[in-house]
Amino acid sequence: MKFPSPVAVQWIADFLGAELIGNENGIVTGINEIHKVERGDLVFVDHPKYYDKCIQSAATFIIINKKANCPEGKALLVCESPFEAYLKIVRHFRPFEPATKSISSSATIGEGTYMYPNVFVGHHVSIGKNCFIHPHVTILDHCIIGDSVIIQAGTVIGSDAFYYNTKKDRDVWYKKMESCGRVIIEDHVEIGANCTIDRGVSHDTLIGRGTKIDNLVHIGHDTVLGKNCLLAAQVGIAGAVDIGNGVILWGQVGVSKTLTIGDNAVVYAQSGVPASLEAGKTYFGSPAEDASVKKRELVWIKRIPELWKKVMG
């Protein structure tokens, strides 16, 4: 999430009650999760396992619960609970705004766009020209829809990320990380009925130009889906997945988190993708492997009873 305007790191430290170490004159441009940080961003870390990763990341400012060596030009904001500090910043810069009507006055809707009855459009939403938004579609705050987009009935754009801060030494193990990211849908995208596309935790979930999505598809937070992709019904994609251009995922494919699928890859129906896939290949199975290899394996598996009889005489 980018702040409306840059903020002095000293102001952030005072706001959080944090001890400031390092560059006291820095300017903070936004807050982000570790897998999406950019220069000028603020990130938080509360586990020793990830201290070095966060400090050495692209982030310029690090909220941390222990003093550490600070690289030149960066700053540490040391406080007792970095997670609570993250929430405080999110709530300040992206506060909850109650809805008072079905289409917010702060939403902008382009010429030629038609919305059926019972569509909900939240605050600060932008919808482009010549779109068709079908009944019971929900487009939540800060989402951006391009031109000539079709969204079928019952789809939800911008639902919260399924993302939690986990500590098993407390009564409530999973504490919600409030989502301040967006969903951006580029031009000429079609989205089927009853799909769910989660907003980024602190960055953007992106659906590339010309991509077509069937019914009952779920796309997790911070996923980047390339241009001209094709997703069949009941595909499920976890968070922070990078999918290239021209990728085809057939029905009921499941994709695990934080992996990459290369351009023009094809994954056959009911496959499971636990790790990154190379571009330009066809995959099948769970775990998904080269489809031609997997099919030969299945042929041999079917022959096991016959082979067993020969071995046993």
List C-alpha distances in Å: 124 to 44, 103, 110, 203: 27, 10, 14, 16
User: For the chain (length 313 residues), average pLDDT per consecutive 10?
Assistant: 96 97 96 90 92 94 94 95 95 95 98 98 98 98 98 98 90 93 98 98 96 98 98 97 98 97 98 98 96 88 83 75
6: preceding bond cis by omega (within 30 degrees): no
Q: How far apart are the first and last CA of the chain?
A: 69
User: May I ask the CATH architecture of the domain 108-296?
Assistant: 3 Solenoid (2.160)
Residues of the chain with CATH 3.40.1390.10: 2-93
Q: Check 188, 203, 218, 221 and give the catalytic one.
A: 221
Q: Sign of the C-alpha dihedral, residues 149, 202, 240, 60?
A: positive
Residues of the chain with CATH 2.160.10.10: 108-296
pLDDT score, position 313: 64
List C-alpha distances in Å: 154 to 106, 116, 197, 247, 313: 23, 12, 12, 25, 60
DSSP bridge pairs for 108: 126
Cα–Cα distance, 281 to 52 (Å, whole number): 36
Out of 3.40.1390.10, 2.40.10.10, 3.30.230.10, 3.50.50.60, select the CATH number for domain 2-93: 3.40.1390.10
Q: C-alpha angle with apex 3: 227 to 159, nearest 5 degrees?
A: 50
Angle between helices 82-93 and 9-16 (to 10 degrees): 110
DSSP letter for each residue of 10-44: HHHHHHHTPEEEE-TT-EEEEE--GGG--TTEEEE
DSSP 265: -
Active-site residue, 203 included: no
